[in-house]
């Protein structure tokens, strides 16, 4: 009986906040597949049904987990020193987005979950507000900034969804699959060969994600700046 009260005393009472932070930790550690209501409850030393007193259902848990992660994005990006926004809006926004990207590396499940959210999550709204503020300070009209937000899409949050993910485990079965189609896809074969030749280190990992992310980001930022200057 004393052991029981000790266990109860040793853990703070359940709360929405505690549930959501536990959800993020669980997904970080064991992957999004391990984030089930039963696992989450166990993590908190509680029965699964207790969770429903603090969150409506599992969708709300996922919404909340995204909320926690994007709040971290805001904190880190605000703390990262960047050029003053009105001086060079592209550099300011670039710095903010790349700062966000470093945070997402710690929550690899988050991009996929963010893309499945239909609802408006407060911290995500605040993040886009901060992006929009930089664009406005840089002299973009609301109309152009609006187009810009759509054009950036998830890139404004620091990530893109890779369509050809690098083979997870051991060997590159993907390259074999490509080789099987060789006759049908001559340009792809030539491109892979040439890219591999340019940078031998990149042969295994397909592509340098960070460099590609920055290339695409700069393409969009430059295009927006060009349209601002022309307006």
Q: Which residues bind DNA (CB under 7 A)?
A: 13-14, 35-39, 41, 46-50, 52-54, 57-59
Residue 136 makes contact with a copy of itself by CB under 8 A: yes
CA quadruple 33, 50, 54, 17: dihedral sign:
negative
- Residue closer to DNA, measured from CB, 54 or 107: 54
Residue 170 makes contact with a copy of itself by CB under 8 A: no
Q: Following CA atoms 122, 128, 133, 139 in sequence, which dihedral angle do they give, to the nearest 10 degrees?
A: -160
- Residue closer to DNA, measured from CB, 14 or 151: 14
CA quadruple 182, 183, 188, 191: dihedral sign:
positive
Residue 203 makes contact with a copy of itself by CB under 8 A: no
Closest Cα partner for 58 from 72, 44, 45, 41?
A: 41
Beta carbon of residue 109, minimum distance to DNA (angstroms, whole number):
14
- Residue closer to DNA, measured from CB, 5 or 81: 5
- Residue closer to a copy of itself, measured from CB, 118 or 229: 118
| DSSP conformational letter for 108 | T
Choose from a copy of itself, DNA, none: what does 190 bind? Cβ within 5-8 Å by kind. a copy of itself
CA end-to-end span of the chain = 75
When binding is defined by CB under 8 A, the residue of 1, 120, 229, 230 that contacts a copy of itself is: 120
Choose from a copy of itself, DNA, none: what does 39 bind? Cβ within 5-8 Å by kind. DNA
Residue 188 makes contact with a copy of itself by CB under 8 A: yes
Beta carbon of residue 26, minimum distance to DNA (angstroms, whole number):
11
Q: In the numeric block, which tokens belong to residue 207?
A: 């592509």
Q: In the numeric block, which tokens belong to residue 133?
A: 């503020």
Residue 110 makes contact with a copy of itself by CB under 8 A: no
Beta carbon of residue 85, minimum distance to a copy of itself (angstroms, whole number):
12
Q: In the numeric block, which tokens belong to residue 201?
A: 């280190």
Residue 195 makes contact with a copy of itself by CB under 8 A: yes
Q: How deeply is 119 buried, as exposed, middle or buried, from its count of CB atoms within 10 A (0-12, 13-18, 19+)?
A: exposed
In the block, residue with structure tokens 């490509």? 178
43-62: which residues touch a copy of itself (CB under 8 A)?
Answer: none
Rounded CA-CA distance 218/211 in Å is: 11
Q: In the numeric block, which tokens belong to residue 7?
A: 């266990």
In the block, residue with structure tokens 């300011």? 92
CA quadruple 175, 178, 180, 183: dihedral sign:
negative
| Positions that interact with a copy of itself (CB under 8 A) | 112, 114-116, 118-120, 122, 124-126, 128-129, 132-133, 136, 142-143, 145-147, 150-151, 153-154, 157, 160-165, 168, 174, 177-178, 181, 184-188, 190-191, 194-195, 198, 207, 212, 215-216, 219-220, 222-224, 227
């Amino acid at each position: 009986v004393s052991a029981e009260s000790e266990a109860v005393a040793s853990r703070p009472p359940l709360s929405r906040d505690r549930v959501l932070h536990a959800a993020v930790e669980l997904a970080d550690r064991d992957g999004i597949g391990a984030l089930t209501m039963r696992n989450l409850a166990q993590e908190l030393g509680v029965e699964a049904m207790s969770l429903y007193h603090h969150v409506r259902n599992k969708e709300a848990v996922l919404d909340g987990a995204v909320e926690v992660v994007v709040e971290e994005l805001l904190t880190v990006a605000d703390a990262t020193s960047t050029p003053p926004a009105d001086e060079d809006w592209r550099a300011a926004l670039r710095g903010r987005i790349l700062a966000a990207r470093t945070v997402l590396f710690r929550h690899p499940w988050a991009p996929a979950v963010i893309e499945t959210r239909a609802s408006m999550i407060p911290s995500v709204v605040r993040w886009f507000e901060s992006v929009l503020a930089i664009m406005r300070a840089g002299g973009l009209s609301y109309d152009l900034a609006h187009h810009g937000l759509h054009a950036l899409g998830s890139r404004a949050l620091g990530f893109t969804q890779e369509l050809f993910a690098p083979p997870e485990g051991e060997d590159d079965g993907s390259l074999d699959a490509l080789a099987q189609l060789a006759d049908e896809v001559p340009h792809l074969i030539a491109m892979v060969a040439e890219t591999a030749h340019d940078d031998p280190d990149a042969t295994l990992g397909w592509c340098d994600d960070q460099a590609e992310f920055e290339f695409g980001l700069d393409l969009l930022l430059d295009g927006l700046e060009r349209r601002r200057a022309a307006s």
